[in-house]
Each structure stands twice: as structure tokens, then as C-alpha cells.
Amino acid sequence: MALGDTIEKITTATGLKMLVNGVYKTIGSNCNCPERKEALNNPNLLINKIFYKDGVSNEGGSLRSR
């Protein structure tokens, strides 16, 4: 699990994903959501290194002290 997965869960739960898919279907285009999700799940992104270490979310949500 990484940032892309988290965003997908939020957009699915709020209905935004269904809305976006409907709009793109109407205009006959592709939203590129899977490609965007894959890019955001990149383990080399700093946010994924901090909050999603070893595929486990930091549920506490606190930042490490510097």
C-alpha cells in the first residue's frame, strides 16, 4: 500500500472516482487513473518512504522528529 492506493480508496469512498469515470466516459477519453496510481505508488517517492515503509501504513500519522 502506498500513496496511489490511499488516494484510490478515498476517491472510491467519496464517489469521486465514479464521477470522474462517468465524465471521461461521456467525453470519450481516458482518465489514465491506473497509470497515475502506479506512478504515485513508486517506492522511491519521499512520501512513500516516510509513511508507507515496507508496505505498511504509518497509522499514527505523526511525522518523525528531525
Q: What is the pLDDT of residue 64?
A: 46
Give the chain as a 3 state SS string: CCHHHHHHHHHHHHCHHHHHHHHHHHHCCCCCHHHHHHHHCCCCCHHHHHHCHHHCCCCCCCCCCC
Is residue 61 predicted with pLDDT exceeding 90? Answer: no
Residue 13 falls within a domain, yes or no? yes
In the chain, the amino acid numbered 24 is Y
**How much is the average pLDDT of 46-58?**
78
Residue 66 falls within a domain, yes or no? no
Q: What is the pTM of this model?
A: 0.73
Structure confidence by residue, pLDDT tens digits, 8-47: 999 999 999 999 999 999 999 998 999 999 999 999 999 9
The tally of domains found in the chain comes to: 1
In the chain, the amino acid numbered 4 is G
Residue 64 falls within a domain, yes or no? no
The whole-angstrom separation of Cα 14 and Cα 48 is 23
